[in-house]
Structure 1
Amino acid sequence: MDSQTFLTIDNEAISLRQAFEYLRTSGELPQFIQAILRQHIIETELRSRSDLEIDPSLIEQAIINFRLQNRLAEPQQFEQWLATQRLSYMQFRNQIVKGLQIAQLKNVLTAPKIEEYFTQKKSLLTRVVLSRIVVAEQELAEELMRQILDDGRPFEKVAREHSLANERVFNGMIGILTVGELPEPIREAIIGAQPGDIIGPIAFEGRYHLLRVEEWQPASLEGAFKAQIQDKIFEEWLQEKLQNKQIKLYINDN
């Protein structure tokens, strides 16, 4: 492996073995090998299937879309971009085809499971918009809760003045989260809450939270949300394929 030049830097040859040693020294070798293994599994699966033919018109449209999205519509711009990427047109086209094949493989593998996954996880996939006030002491949290509920102090004002969380500058608004992303104590606390309800104090990681439910957004199996579920199922398939793979790295240590 020493005699194999992998690349040159200022005309200095870097062997394949040296490149691997650099990766090992930087701690990036495991991720590098993992990426190779993942791609090998995908390529092997693609070769084993005859049901993933891509219509040529889809390929051409994907190329057009790529060029438009990346402002490469002009032939000269596109040629310059290919040169900077060290790609021939056919290599670029093959990348587009591969991406379409992987997308189709993902659809084929996830289609039988996506409805079941969605049904099982629907409650955790529901999205919620929350605002919060976070303080260090339980007594303060209870007093602020009393002021909001009994004295009518605006939640937003209390958040700006007292919350330790970064989103205090946004009146305590956290934004949209899936229920499954929330820590268990908070997830359990908001079950059944209606928009406008204020909940707390909730003890979590040494601090005390007051929460206001702003909005519920029921999960629906469409658009970007469907794509996220497909990605999760596909990743589970990949991880299952990765199990018990025997890997040998042929690099001499001497």
Structure 2
Amino acid sequence: MDTFLTVDEKPISLEQAIKYLQSAGKLSPFIGDILRQHVIERELQTREDIDISPALTEQAVIDFRLQNRLSDAQSFQEWLKNNGTDYNSFHSSVAFGFKLEKLKVLVTQDKVQEYFIERKLFLDRVVLSRIIVAEQELAEEIHIQIEEGSNFEQLAKEYSMADDRVVNGMMGPVSRGTMPDILRASVDVAQTGQTVGPIELEGRWGLFRIEQFLPASLEDNQLKQSLQNELFEKWLAEKIQKLTVRLQVT
């Protein structure tokens, strides 16, 4: 029997480990992780446009040690041991991280702009405050009070049925794509500071004040990275879908 793990001096075979994973309902995610890594490693081996400078990896290792107070050689060795790795493996994992990020860019760079346009409705956000009441007549009366100069926040605290009345009706950023069509249509033609409504939503009536428009842009590096990650995961899923996989445990 080939030993996969040793626990309290007792060997656990690969076959037994697989059975444990099956019993726990975690075999599929485990295999999924293996297939994911297999596709990535194979892609890195076959592509010739992924070249990472050794100096970049070395500097990243140095930065990691400084940030985690591991500049002392002995402390670093103890950290490596406690984390079940050694210097070569750690160095390789750092280099792999850089290669993976470069692969993501290469795989997605021609698709990001189009994907951004497809998703823009859901990526654009609007900061809203609201007052939700049960009756249209009350909503119209409150709207008149707002137009005459009454304080929106105070009216929200006094009349709104929504939980956010305790924070002056502030909803925070809301994706345009998740708004009901009737609300989005009103918001899209409104100006910052304007109150729209009353609008009937799920049997109640709402007044919505536009606090700020937050249009999405690919100049937002965090957003761009998020879209690249989504596209990369789609690409990976397509690659994995085409694999022929057989589980063989003897």
Percentage of matched positions with identical amino acids: 45
1:153-191 CA distance string (max 9 Å, x none): 533334445556554443333333443455656544532
Matched, 1:174 2:171: yes
Q: Which residue of 2 aligns with 1:93?
A: 91
Cα distance in 2 for residues equivalent to 1:44 and 1:155: 59
Matched, 1:109 2:107: yes
Matched, 1:235 2:233: yes
Q: Which residue of 1 aligns with 2:46?
A: 48
1:95-135 CA distance string (max 9 Å, x none): 00111000000111111222233344444422322234456
AA matched with 1:32? F
- Aligned residue pairs total 247
Unmatched tracts of structure 2, length 5 or more: none
Distance 1:145 1:69, change over 3 A: farther
Larger Rg: 2
Distance 1:217 1:7, change over 3 A: same
1:129 alignment partner, SS class: strand
Q: TM-score, normalised by structure 2?
A: 0.82
Distance 1:4 1:195, change over 3 A: farther
Distance 1:67 1:175, change over 3 A: farther
Cα distance in 1 for residues equivalent to 2:185 and 2:7: 56
Indicate conservation of the 8 Å contact 1:148/1:155, yes or no.
Answer: no
Cα distance in 1 for residues equivalent to 2:163 and 2:218: 32
Structure 1 residue ranges, 4+ long, deviating more than 6 angstroms after superposition: none
Unmatched tracts of structure 1, length 5 or more: none
How far 1:224 moved relative to its partner? 0.9
Indicate conservation of the 8 Å contact 1:144/1:158, yes or no.
Answer: no
Aligned-residue Cα RMSD (Å) equals 2.9
How far 1:207 moved relative to its partner? 6.2
Deviates more, 1:41-50 or 1:12-21: 12-21
Distance 1:144 1:224, change over 3 A: same
Q: How does 1:26-175 map to 2 (within 5 A)?
A: 26-133=24-131, 137=134, 139=135, 143-144=138-139, 146-150=141-145, 153-160=150-157, 167-175=164-172
Cα distance in 2 for residues equivalent to 1:178 and 1:190: 12
Q: TM-score, normalised by structure 1?
A: 0.81
